[in-house]
Amino acid sequence: MLRTVSWLMRVGTYAFIGLHTFTGPPAGPGAVTLAVVTYALGGLALLLWELTHARGDEAARRAPRMRMRILLGVAAALSGYASAFPHAGALIGLSLMAVMHLGTELSLPVGWAVAGCTVVALETGVLVAGASRRFALGYPMLVALILVASHNRRAYRIRAEQSAAMLAQSELLRAEQRRVAVLDERTRIAREIHDVLAHSLGALSIQIQAASALLTDHRDIDRAVTVLDGARRLTADGLAETRRAVHALRSDLAPLDEELGTMADTHRQRHGVPVRLRVEGEPSPLPADQALPLFRTAQEALTNAAKHAPAQPVEVTLTYEDEHVTLTVDNPLGAPPSPRRAPALATVDGGYGLTGMRERLLLLGGTLDAGVRDGQWRVRAEVPR
C-alpha cells in the first residue's frame, strides 16, 4: 500500500512538473528542445530506477547499479542546467527527485557528488540564461536540503532494516530456546521414567527371584506367597510412580527427610534388612530440582544394595550444611558367591542407574561418588544449596 502511494505521488509530481513547464514554454534559444529532452530523460531515469528497485532479488538490483547512478546523475545535472532558463524552473524538481533517490539508496559520498554536479550545472545555466541572484543561491540550498533529508531517510531505513533483522533473529532465538526447552523436558521425563522403572523393576526382579528360591529350594509355599504379595504391591507402587513421572509432578515430593524415611521403611519391609536413616544438620525445604536427584540416588543405591549385598544392613545419612546437602548410603560389601549359597540376585538396570544420577547431579553443579570406603560400599551425592 505504501509503495503504491509513493508511486502515485511521484507520478503526480512528474506530471505537475510537465504541466508547469510546458504550459508556458521556456524562453531562450533552444530552451524548448532542452526542456523536452530533460523532461524525457529525467522521466526515463526515474522510471528505470523504480523498476530496478522494485525487484526483490538483490543480485538483480546490483547488476545495473552503476549504469543507473550515471543515468540519474546526468538527468539531475541536465535538469539543474535547464531549470535556470525562464519558465523552466519547475525542472529543478527532477533534479531534486534524482538527488533524493541517490541519497536514500547510496552512500554519502555518491549523494554529495551528484548534488555537487547538479549545483555546478545549475550555476552554469544561471550564467548562460542570466537568471537572478536569488535563483542562483536558492536552488543550490534546496538541493543541499533535499540531500540531507534523503540521507536522514536512508539512516532511518537502515535502522528499520537492522531492527527487522534483529527481530527476526530474536524470533529464531526464541524458537531455538523453545526447542531446547522441549528437548530438556523430554530428557528430564525420560530420566524420570528410567529411574522409576529401574528401581521398581529391579526390586520386583529381586522379589520374584526370592519367591522362586523359596519354592524350588525350600518348598516354603507360605513364605513364597508372602513374597509374591509384596511383589504385587511393589508393582502397584511402581505403576503409580510411573504415572507421576510421566506427568512430571516433581512438586509432589514431600520434604526429603520424610521421603527417605518412607523409602527406608519400604526397603526394610521388602527385604527384611535393617535400614538406618540419620539426618544431620537443620532440615530445610529443598527445591524439587535438587531434592529429586537425591531421592533417586537413594533409590538406586538401595536397589544396588539389595542386589549386591542381600541381607546386609544399610545406613542412609542426609546432611544439611550451609552451602550444600549431602546424601550418603553405606552398606557392607557383598560376600562372593559359593557353591552352597544361592546365586546373587540380578536386576534389569544394566549398570546405567548411577551414570544417569551422576549426569543429573552435574546439571545442578553437584557430584556423585561411588566406591569402597572403610570396608563398605559407599554412594555419596552432593548438591549445592
Tens digit of each residue's pLDDT, the chain (385 residues): 666 777 788 788 888 888 888 887 776 677 788 888 888 888 888 787 777 765 544 444 454 567 777 888 888 888 888 888 887 888 888 888 888 877 776 666 777 788 888 888 888 888 888 777 777 888 888 888 888 888 787 778 788 888 888 888 888 888 888 778 767 767 766 766 666 666 677 777 777 888 888 888 877 888 888 888 877 777 777 776 666 555 544 445 678 888 899 889 988 888 888 999 999 998 888 887 788 889 888 988 888 888 888 888 999 999 999 889 999 999 988 654 443 343 344 433 444 467 777 877 888 889 999 888 888 899 999 999 8
All three cell numbers of 33: 528542445
**Beta strands per DSSP E along the chain:** 275-280, 314-320, 324-332, 367-373, 376-384
Q: What are phi and psi of 327, to 5 degrees?
A: -115, 130
DSSP string of 271-302, one letter each residue: H---EEEEEES------HHHHHHHHHHHHHHH
All three cell numbers of 320: 544439611
Map residue 270 onto helix, strand or coil. Answer: helix
* pTM recorded for the entire structure: 0.41
Which candidate, 375, 190, 198, places its Cα nearest to that of 301? 198
Q: At what angle do helices 92-105 and 108-129 cross, to 10 degrees?
A: 170
* Rounded Cα distance, 199 and 208, in Å: 14
DSSP string of 227-251, one letter each residue: HHHHHHHHHHHHHHHHHHHHTT-GG
Instruction: Please name the fold of domain 174-384.
Output: Heat Shock Protein 90 (3.30.565)
Residue 333 contacts residue 372 (beta carbons within 8 Å): yes
Q: What are phi and psi of 51, to 5 degrees?
A: -65, -40
What are the boundaries of each domain within the chain?
2-131, 174-384
pLDDT at 65: 65
β 314-320/376-384 pair status: unpaired
β 275-280/314-320 pair status: parallel
Q: Who's near 226: CB < 8 A, 6+ residues apart?
A: none
Q: Measured between alpha carbons, how far is residue 357 from residues 45, 107, 187, 262, 354 in Å?
A: 72, 60, 13, 20, 5
How would you class 4 by CB atoms within 10 Å of its CB: exposed for 0-12, middle for 13-18, buried for 19 or more?
exposed
Where does the chain have alpha helices with state H? Answer: 2-23, 31-53, 58-62, 65-82, 92-105, 108-129, 133-216, 221-246, 256-271, 288-308, 353-363
